[in-house]
Structure 1
């Protein structure tokens, strides 16, 4: 996808950057949206490795703390590097404003905890990341916040679960690891009809492949550790969306402290410059892997949104520009087949991360989703033989060759 235009939202008053055209291609925005140049005339934005910033005088300090003027006070609140990273993600997602956090899970928690109180209720997709499931079932209930799970494959299940005290709808699409999708335009319309914010984890798709805010979401969260970094170097999270919602997230983050480091923000902002190029290659390689292993004698099934065999293939084509970089193989032989496969890979990595330049294989039932009960895993089709493949940027033939030899009898 090399010819997509992105409409710039109005700049946030607290985030001042060099002007960009009203209409720009995604790749251009990702590269050219930068913090203002200093008197040193640097071509690449420098690092601001400082914990605090000086005030002009007593009145300036007072005005900053009363938020009558914008500016830097303390790097837990804001920093030129984190500001640039957030602003860039806002431009790419079409958001009003955003907040950077120390990790993807701190972004998810901030997006949730900043908006709910004791007695409130959340409706979430059942198919979500394991740690997010722990938030809904073990962390938020400590404060009297309850959650019900809707079936992504049964849209009407969402409306049945909405109560007078429902304050949020939450979804990942495609889901981790099962690659289930939901119609974002339908869910966005449902959220608007009930005046309930919709929060979408867009980590697997990235704004290059899918823009949930354009479909009616209020907020988008990302683990920037994944495709946004793309090279397994840095932890980070980001929340972008509606200005009013983000104001609550900023207040919560400012006083609870899940701040992104300036160094990680600098890395992540630079990484966004190559996001489009990398995602094109991830998607091309992933489609090749998915097609190759369909019908393989050791594979029970293959899941990939842009395979015609995916049950939501038409929806994927409608709301995503490409199928993403994740392929799921369900191996015949269950857990023993999965363990044998993992122990035999040579080129690809066995790790719990994803979105890296390197191809990574993971067994969710024994790692990322191991805290779910067998019944909970069955409900979201995480079988013992399921292998999540984060397809990297190596040559597709080398990836396929290694996976083939690991499956050989």
Structure 2
């Protein structure tokens, strides 16, 4: 995400490389490029101009850090200002109320229904809540079925009244159902609408008034840039929503919406969608996003995702296997499955400082492990548990069974052997020690 913006900002900071101090001239040249980068990212002109003005004032101010090089200083100031522009502090979701009612609003095609499912899954798995999804989109064909499918994927009940064409009544009845059946969060998925459609805007305003939600969230497609910001303003004028959800941040987004929306509607971005899977939802941290925009990665989020998949009991079992030299391909496959649960590969790489820039021209597919999985799954039970028995004849059979070349099987065997040796060397802490090292990077 934001690859183009990151590249242009990096080039802007290069203007200061080799300079011994900040001056009016080199600051002006640098900020001219910063402003151009923001405009290319579809940030509103006034916001971009005000942003660079504030950066200039701080860069030329009396209280600058003289211990930093000009380039480092400029990056720090820009990072701080970007963080502030995107909201400063992280904004939580309001879960007061019995049940807590969350109203989802947004444009047609913004990913609102899918994100309703992601939010329900997040509240269920991360917050221990019992959510109820409510189908109030009475216009779009198959909208109710879509939500039912999403609910089935995450094990969350969906309340619907297919014959009822009154979304206010459906929402009110759903809340009664939630109270009677022990649901503590109600997520109301409404019909996508256009801000200029007065009838549809009135309808969602009526739903909002009738159910008095604790949270009203505006879902916006991050790929629509400045148009998304303008639409958010129109919705906010009518609904006075509580926060913004940015979807499709894993796509080819320019970043304008993420950077601009807070200053236009004065409402925080609360969550972001980073992929198609139901787990692809992140709390929005302005400072972490600023780091990523500036190519610094996001180690904290990477560690948090790793910790979510880290099982101490499994780690202990794995440690014993490594100590006894019994680490096999089944264990290797299990480790791959845990990595895949952390999110899409491109997003994970972007969290590693410097990796995004180094691999910017490398296409990282989400199914990067599919050949490895196919090879392992073509092995017999004995071969997976005792890799040493795999000779050339077996390799030929495995390659044929997995649809790959024998060179790929040899490469995997070599990588597996190297990893086994490394794990053996790490004994005395194993996976737990690695996690402790990662935690120390926070």
TM-score > 0.5 by shorter chain: no
Relative to the length of structure 2, the TM-score reads: 0.29
Higher helix share goes to which structure? Answer: 2
Higher strand share goes to which structure? Answer: 1
Relative to the length of structure 1, the TM-score reads: 0.31
